[in-house]
Chains A and B, each alone.
Chain A
Amino acid sequence: MNDKAWNNRAWFFVLPVLAFVLFSSLIPMMTVVNYSVQDTMGQNHFFWNGAGWFQNLLDPTTDIGGRFARAIVRNFVFSAAILAIEIPLGILVALSLPRRGWAVGPTLVIIALPMLIPWNVVGTIWQIFARQDIGLLGAVVNKIGIHYNDTEDPVSAWATIVVMDVWHWTSMVALLCYAGLKAIPDAYYQAARIDAARRWSVFLNIELPKLRKVLIIAVLLRFMESFMIYTEPMVVTGGGPGEATSFMSLDLVKIALGQVDLGNAAAYSLIYNLITLTVCWIFFTTMTQLEARKGA
């Protein structure tokens, strides 16, 4: 093990990567850090504010703090809701897709279509789709007697955004699971038939364990993206009615660009970033550690 040459000059090979990371993420982020510890009275004159913005933001009794806390709750509720729908639904779709034959190609393309549409176009589609006067969805739902108005009623607005995300991204979960299912050798299914295993038993004992790894990736990707969602609710509800669908990203843009409140916005975005990072890290380490412990 330890008979390798000891040469610290090898670190020089890391320099290009370091330079790249500096320019792509660290330096731009430092400008945000810069704003988060300073205040200004205009005329491009800044002075030191220490942890003031952060203290304000993390104190729910202040105006900005309360707003921040409500947005966090909304974000977590939204991510939990779409994960609870998209993961099982994605698995179900993947299980029912054809695995061989001529139908595979066309089916996969059709399944993948929603993912290929840009976010703001998805928003526009659903904005029109949900309208009560001319939108197919909105008009039909109101016709059958359910009161539905995504610009006035918070429940309708939430339902629209959740359904829109499910429509947009379930295909990704389905395609990941499909790839995982295709990787299971035929012998497993043949052995299950020989053992007279029932369908549910095949799913629990063969398919689900083999899907564990792709599901970890699917949950991670969907959590990160849903936690950072911006464009679609921006186009469909604009964060309303009231602040009912003002997720953290929408709220942040209002503070930074609407109110030009740079200090609060900078502190807000740093904490937002930290939350995403922490949740993903906790999620990933617990999942991989569970994996390792089961393997032992």
Chain B
Amino acid sequence: MARITLDGIAHAYRAVPRGDADYALKPLHHVWEHGLAYALLGPSGCGKTTLLNIISGLLIPTEGRLLFDERDVTLLPTEQRNIAQVFQFPVIYDTMTVAENLAFPLKNRRMERRAIAARVAEIGEMLGLTAEMGRRARGLTADARQKVSLGRGLVRPDVSAVLFDEPLTVIDPALKWELRSKLKIVHRTLDLLMIYVTHDQVEALTFADRVVVMNDGRVLQIGTPTELFERPDHTFVGYFIGSPGMNLLPAQVMGRHARVDGHVLDLGATYPASPPGGRVQLGVRPEYATLAAGDGIPVQVRRVEDLGRRRLARVALGPHELVATLPPGLSIAGSEAVLQVEPPNLHVYVDDRRVEGIAA
């Protein structure tokens, strides 16, 4: 039962960091609550794994303090922290059977023999490994091996958190889905804090209660999947979450209205005057930008992509390109069309950060 607090944690791989660019992880404050499943989402090299290794103690942070509940564990070695971690590639003790692999972390912590057997059987069953328990681990298939790795991460009953570092990379796409839902069930039954690193947004959004979006060593937004989709705090979040990502249009914002290439859009709220020199952008998700017949902003349709379940149109608004949804039943004759956006789905970004409007 634990809460993990990051108090100004930052890390640089260079011994003497010379500037902001040397930090793989920029100073970060965050509290991971017990019982929740978090996903750390971001492109490769954004600092996700660094953050994970700091929590598990494989790395000692350059700055800041790490607290498990109220206890400072910043300098505590890995084996003395109550942390389990599962790696990207299966790590298996080849000389042992599946059951011995699962029992290994418990045996090393001198748990009582009967308790070990019961726990190993329970976790093995949860992961569907019961039939393979007596087999030697080296002959297993890649996904069975990764299941054993996952099992070793989940087997300890007293851990503060289980960390996953892109654990499903090596798994077959069909099995991925199955394993992910299994992990979700395991999470509910074991009531643990789980932190799950991934660069796959679908994985993050389906697994997690809270998604932490990172880029370039910074945490950009922490929120539920819905929050990230409906109200991205940063243009990167808008672009990274969703497929295709959010449309961003350079605009001038004046009170309740925005002007894009000579056309005026209603924002539904009043925005303060943006600071001089700031880059102002208007963001709208393709799902909320619909082509229509009737009133709206005239656009040129470049191309329509039929994705089966929905149709997307690549359109041009003056010099700006964007992606819009083509509602079922509507057919476009020629390249002229009209774009409609509901005001609540329009977001204003100044220098990539979302600005909150004052509803009036």
Over the window 96-113 of chain B, the binary record of Cβ atoms lying under 8 Å from chain A Cβ atoms (1 yes, 0 no) is 100000001100110000
Q: Whose C-beta in chain B lies nearest to the C-beta of A206? A: B93
A121 to chain B, nearest CB (A): 42
Q: Whose C-beta in chain B lies nearest to the C-beta of A191? A: B91
Q: Which residues of B contact A (CB under 8 A)?
A: 56-58, 77-79, 83-85, 87-89, 91, 93-96, 104-105, 108-109, 136, 138-139, 149, 152-153
Determine chain A's interface SS by DSSP, over half rule.
helix
Q: Which of A185, A190, A195, A209 contacts B108 (CB 8 A)?
A: A195
| Interface contact B136-A195, CB-CB below 8 Å | no
Complex Cα gap A201–B58 (Å): 19
Would you give 22 A-B contacts (Cβ < 8 Å), ordered by A?
A187-B88, A187-B89, A190-B58, A190-B85, A190-B87, A191-B87, A191-B91, A191-B152, A193-B77, A193-B78, A194-B79, A194-B105, A194-B153, A196-B108, A196-B109, A197-B108, A201-B108, A205-B96, A206-B93, A209-B94, A294-B136, A296-B139
Taking A195-B104, A294-B136 as given, write out 14 further A-B residue pairs in contact, using a Cβ cutoff of 8 Å, ordered by the A residue number: A187-B91, A191-B149, A191-B152, A193-B57, A193-B58, A194-B153, A196-B79, A196-B109, A197-B108, A205-B93, A205-B96, A205-B104, A206-B93, A294-B138
List 8 A-B pairs, minimum CB-CB distance, nearest first.
Answer: A191-B91, A195-B105, A196-B79, A196-B108, A193-B78, A187-B87, A205-B93, A209-B94
With A193-B78, A195-B105, A295-B139: A209-B95 Cβ-Cβ less than 8 Å: yes
Complex Cα gap A195–B85 (Å): 9
Q: Which residues of B contact A185 (CB under 8 A)?
A: 89
Q: Which residues of A contact B87 (CB under 8 A)?
A: 187, 190-191
Q: Which residues of A contact B79 (CB under 8 A)?
A: 193-194, 196
Over the window 122-163 of chain A, the binary record of Cβ atoms lying under 8 Å from chain B Cβ atoms (1 yes, 0 no) is 000000000000000000000000000000000000000000
Q: Whose C-beta in chain A lies nearest to the C-beta of B149? A: A191
Complex Cα gap A66–B77 (Å): 64
| Interface contact A194-B95, CB-CB below 8 Å | no
Q: Whose C-beta in chain A lies nearest to the C-beta of B100? A: A205
Query: How many A-B contacts if CB must be within 8 Å?
Result: 55
A197 to chain B, nearest CB (A): 6
Q: Which residues of A contact B136 (CB under 8 A)?
A: 294
Q: Whose C-beta in chain B lies nearest to the C-beta of A202? A: B93
Q: Which residues of B contact A193 (CB under 8 A)?
A: 57-58, 77-79
Complex Cα gap A193–B85 (Å): 10
| Interface contact B138-A295, CB-CB below 8 Å | yes
Q: Which of B91, B138, B139, B153 contacts A188 (CB 8 A)?
A: B91
Complex Cα gap A196–B85 (Å): 12
Q: Which residues of A contact B85 (CB under 8 A)?
A: 190-191, 194
A215 to chain B, nearest CB (A): 14
| Residue from the set B93, B108, B153 with the largest chain A CB neighbour count within 10 Å | B93
Complex Cα gap A208–B108 (Å): 19
Determine chain B's interface SS by DSSP, over half rule.
mixed
B40 to chain A, nearest CB (A): 17
| Interface contact B139-A194, CB-CB below 8 Å | no
Q: Which residues of B contact A194 (CB under 8 A)?
A: 56, 78-79, 83-85, 105, 153
Q: Which residues of A contact B78 (CB under 8 A)?
A: 190, 193-194
A111 to chain B, nearest CB (A): 28
Residue A198 is within 8 A (CB to CB) of chain B in the complex: yes
Complex Cα gap A185–B104 (Å): 19
Residue A183 is within 8 A (CB to CB) of chain B in the complex: no
Q: Which residues of B contact A187 (CB under 8 A)?
A: 87-89, 91
Over the window 261-296 of chain A, the binary record of Cβ atoms lying under 8 Å from chain B Cβ atoms (1 yes, 0 no) is 000000000000000000000000000000000111
Q: Which residues of B contact A197 (CB under 8 A)?
A: 104, 108
B311 to chain A, nearest CB (A): 44
| Residue from the set A190, A208, A295 with the largest chain B CB neighbour count within 10 Å | A190
Q: Which residues of B contact A190 (CB under 8 A)?
A: 58, 78, 85, 87
Q: Whose C-beta in chain B lies nearest to the C-beta of A195? A: B105
A296 to chain B, nearest CB (A): 6
Q: Whose C-beta in chain B lies nearest to the C-beta of A193? A: B78
B110 to chain A, nearest CB (A): 10
**Which residues 199-225 in A have Cβ within 8 Å of B in the complex?**
201, 204-206, 208-209
Q: Which residues of A contact B84 (CB under 8 A)?
A: 194
A185 to chain B, nearest CB (A): 7
Complex Cα gap A206–B104 (Å): 13
B158 to chain A, nearest CB (A): 12
Complex Cα gap A208–B109 (Å): 23
Q: Which of B88, B94, B108 contacts A198 (CB 8 A)?
A: B108
Q: Which residues of A contact B58 (CB under 8 A)?
A: 190, 193
Complex Cα gap A208–B96 (Å): 13
Q: Which residues of A contact B56 (CB under 8 A)?
A: 194
Complex Cα gap A198–B109 (Å): 10
Complex Cα gap A236–B350 (Å): 84
Complex Cα gap A128–B139 (Å): 54
Q: Which residues of A contact B139 (CB under 8 A)?
A: 295-296
Over the window 94-130 of chain A, the binary record of Cβ atoms lying under 8 Å from chain B Cβ atoms (1 yes, 0 no) is 0000000000000000000000000000000000000
Complex Cα gap A198–B79 (Å): 10
Q: Which residues of B contact A296 (CB under 8 A)?
A: 139
B234 to chain A, nearest CB (A): 32
With A193-B79, A294-B136, A296-B139: A205-B95 Cβ-Cβ less than 8 Å: yes
Q: Which residues of B contact A208 (CB under 8 A)?
A: 95
Complex Cα gap A287–B95 (Å): 16
Q: Which residues of A contact B57 (CB under 8 A)?
A: 193
A88 to chain B, nearest CB (A): 19
